[in-house]
Structure 1
Amino acid sequence: MLQRFRVAALAVALGAGTLVLAPTAATAAADPVVTRVGISPGPPIDVTNGAVTATFRFATKGTDKAELQLKPPGDVSVGKPLDLTPTKDGDWTRWTGTRSFDSTNVGKWSWLAVAGDASRGGTFEVVVKKVLDTKIVDFDANPDFVDRGDLIKVSGRLLADGKGYGGQSVALTFRARGTDAYRTVTKVTTGADGSFSANVRARETGWWRAEFAATSAAKGSVSDADRVDVRRGELASRIAGFDARPEPVDKGDRLTFTGALQVEGRGGVPGERVSIFFRAGGAHRWEYVTSDVTGRDGRFWASATAQTSGWWRAEYAGTRGVRGSVSDADWVRVDQPAPPPAKADTRLIKFNAYPEPVKRGKYARFTGKLQIDDEGTWEGYRGKVALYFKRAGSHKWQYVKTTWSNGSGRLYTKVKAWNSGRWRFVFAGDEDAYGDTSSSDYVRVKR
């Protein structure tokens, strides 16, 4: 009653003016509304004959934002949101999204539609009404005769009811000569046509085969076995093309050492450590300086600071089944440097490594720009630029190749990508300019 008197008094005080009051609860915005989700084709979703794309539809009122979460069978975490397309229909907004299901998705799924404070949930099933017969064909472990530790290629094809069965896990197993049990060496996923392959190291003579474990959609199967014989004799190695450069070199400048480690019957071998040793002129003792791990084709690259004239050589300690070796020695004269001339600053910009991801064995491409500071103005500069690579999980950058920028400073080169990792350009500088290093760019390599 007291409140009505206050309102009346205010109206009298305002005269002909307008009295504006806050909206009542009846005129406030309505709570959001969400309808039940419709699924097409209607559940259960049958994936017996392959993948099926299902469409999810629902409508909301009172909000312009909505989310549809799908949760796989047995998953207790928050469901993954589906990409939705909205369509306005008067006061309602209609939402549509799609998802593909195959035989790896069999089971009871949960859905939850959320719009503001409103939500609605439910379940649906993905089923296989027929269990497929599978068979592994064209299985092969190649080559049949290898040295211990060599890579062999194990491959084949998984069929289901006579057709390629893609997206399935196949175990590659091995039984050593003189044993009865197969053990799993690695697992691979079949391609769209059911094919699979992997490179594995042969450590001992025995039989290889592929195994597909039964699923709710398909019966299990095992391939024929294929024998690989492993030789155990020690192989000779050599360090070819060892070179220490430049020669002569000024004291305090960097020397680079290159060459390739080769093993009898294998050619260049990657992943082996090569050490660099130095013996000063007039001395009798070789001293360790640095080392590098061989890359593709067995090539290595290392560097060290030149201090005095003397001999340099590379040494490989060997490994099980491979004898060590020592390169020819290379003499380098070290001079006292002349007073350094005035140099200009440089910068490497716009470095880009692409595509990302890149398929293993395909070309990765690299662009960038080398510029020099010309009295406060950055100009394109022609220079010799090195490409470096750091494999994922490693802390060491490895030299890959050298290229040149053009007169505008633009850089472009390409190499085949074999491992995921970071790439960058390095300009070591020259008599007119200081060096610089670009930013790095990560490229993932997929198989």
Structure 2
Amino acid sequence: MLQRTRAAVALTVGVGALALAPSAMAATTVSSVAATAADPVVSSVKIDPEPIVVTGSPVGAEFTFTTSGAGKVDFKIKAPGGDWTPLEVKPAPHGLESKWTATRTFDTKDREGRWSYIAVAHGEDGKEDTESGRFTVDVRRHRSLDTRITGFDARPEPVRKGAEFGVHGRLLVEGRHGWQGYGGRTVDILFRADGSSRWEKVGSDRTDRFGRFSESGTAERSGTWRAVFGGGRGVDRAFSGTDHVRVVTPPRREDSRIVGFNASPEPVRHGRYLTFTGGLQVEHSGWKGYRAEVGLYFKPTGSSRWQHVKNVSTDRSGHLRTKAKAYRSGHWKFVFDGNDDFRPVSSGSDYVRVIRH
């Protein structure tokens, strides 16, 4: 709450003043206007930070205000139940006004509660203007900052055994402006296997400037995951919620094979079509033709890298047949990438020479 007071100057005009000449009256009017314009004014008192929160280390606060028509200023503060204490103020230009700044450091020895302030601007002839108000000092003695872990998640779930797996979350700390990311802190990742009562530390990560952390690895056992921040001086520990993840063992995959692969004709003229044939078979109570998608690959002479050319679908009996134009001599082959039921496999390669006539 702000309060403003201004000293008033009363002018008494005698009866004889009515007999003043017009020029004298004009001079008196101009003089009065000039005196009014020179009245001191104090305004725009600000405290930074507000409230002033002391959690352990001293906190510096800055008090600023502006004045006009003032030759001298005073600024005082008062603790609850205490006496007024003047602060040193320093001026700086501020347009047509002057800006004044005072500083004061608050620590755990200060009283908490609603403090008072008063800013006074002194002008000529004893004129002055004042602005007063209150601000809060919150002293948290022997109190650690609260922390929390939010958004903790372990995924995917369920996950196949041996597959890539990860956890992530965010560490927050209670600051002056509410909960905010707590960067540069180590968060441990804990795991408790199904059937066990013991938590194991399996990894850790350092939070980024937003408080985010993550950790990844290979899924091996079903169990429960959680994240823990160990705290520190003046900062509490934090535990995430738990997340249970089931690890499933994929069914045993059977063998597969590509038989009878052939590229023809050989040799082939540059830019002409080659025909590729073969068959995809899988082991399922004996070798049987299998319907699936198979890739055709080519490796030019002198190269060590196989290039994907196209995909081909087998028929119901597993037969493969497709065409592609030949531009360079090299090796060709079919590749089956496998699936949940059958293992991947590659055919033998077939070399074809390209001739130019």
Judge same fold: TM > 0.5, yes or no. Answer: no
Point out which structure has higher relative CO (alpha carbons under 8 A, 6+ apart).
2
**TM-score category, normalised to shorter length:** 0.3 to 0.5
Q: TM-score, normalised by structure 2?
A: 0.38
Larger of the two Rg values belongs to structure: 2
